[in-house]
Amino acid sequence: MDQAARFAYEGGHLDFSGSRPRGVPALAPSYGFGPYQYRGNRCVIVVTEVAEAALREVMPRELEPAPGNLAVWCLFDCPQVNGLGPHAFAMPCIPCRYGDFTGQYVPYLYTSTEASLTGYREAQGWPARLAQVRVRESGGKVQASVTRGGRELISAAGTVGGERITSLDFLPIILYKEIPSIDTQGRDVGCLVASTSLFENLDYRGGSGSLRFDESADDPVVRLKPLKVPQFLYGTMDDLYPETIRVLHRY
């Protein structure tokens, strides 16, 4: 560029005036935009009973735990996901109510890749942290784990079999999304968001199993240690997310 052209130069080629974001951040997107189609997920679902006080400690005050004080753990191995790429994740889902609305609140999510972590956090406020999540099954014997910082925080083990389960009732997911202001004195975004997924091709089997936490670990998830494990499932399914989105509350 010669000197005259340099002084006539008025700006770059990025245009932020459009309604749709073009990069996250600009020129260096870390994930692709959804909706996200998951194919061939392998999933362990462990229904646990938890102390009510532990549930309330990790939930916004606007939410009320459902009767039974449950935390439903889902540990996923996702080999094919557009926009996010292959990854594995684990999360506890707490059945609850917001007024007349029934859903399940997710206070923590552990995921295995940078792309999935950034996409989950920025898009809707999934409380994602990096961890290694493993799901294995052979001959009806199931093992799964969450390891963070070289320490196994959570381990699941069970035996499944019997009749196929081809449908399950999944409540809408409730998330709290917050983006703090750059001056740290407030927040640009603060809201409770509810979303649903389209689940297809379910193929699960039930059985019995356990879920154990490393209670000595310095990780907030150990607050949700189970008192009982009433149900243990393993199977596969496809998932389109999000199917619907709804803002429940703005702060």
The average pLDDT across 98-120 equals 96
How would you class 142 by CB atoms within 10 Å of its CB: exposed for 0-12, middle for 13-18, buried for 19 or more?
buried
pLDDT in tens, 36-84: 999 999 999 999 999 999 999 999 999 999 999 999 999 999 999 999 9
Please give the pLDDT value at position 141: 98
Higher pLDDT, 26 or 60: 60
Is pLDDT at 21 greater than 80 in this prediction?
no
Is pLDDT at 7 greater than 80 in this prediction?
no
Is pLDDT at 138 greater than 70 in this prediction?
yes
Please give the pLDDT value at position 25: 62
* C-alpha dist (Å) from residue 232 to 174, 206, 207: 23, 6, 5
Please give the pLDDT value at position 32: 86
63-92: b (≥16 Cβ within 10 Å) or e: bebbeebbbbbbbbbbeebebbbebbbbbb
Is pLDDT at 11 greater than 80 in this prediction?
no
Report residue 216 as tokens: 């000595």
* C-alpha dist (Å) from residue 170 to 7, 74, 75, 86: 60, 11, 15, 23
Domains and CATH numbers, the chain: 36-167+199-241 (2.40.400.10)
Q: Residue 27 — very low, low, confident or very high, per pLDDT cuts 50/70/90?
A: low
Of 3-12, 56-65, 66-75, 209-218, which range is least confident? 3-12
Is pLDDT at 188 greater than 70 in this prediction?
yes
Q: What gap in Å lies between CA 74 and CA 223, rounded to an integer?
A: 17
Is pLDDT at 3 greater than 70 in this prediction?
no
Task: Determine which helix (DSSP H) or strand (DSSP E) holds 65, and give its type and residue range.
Answer: strand 64-65
3-state secondary structure of 81: strand
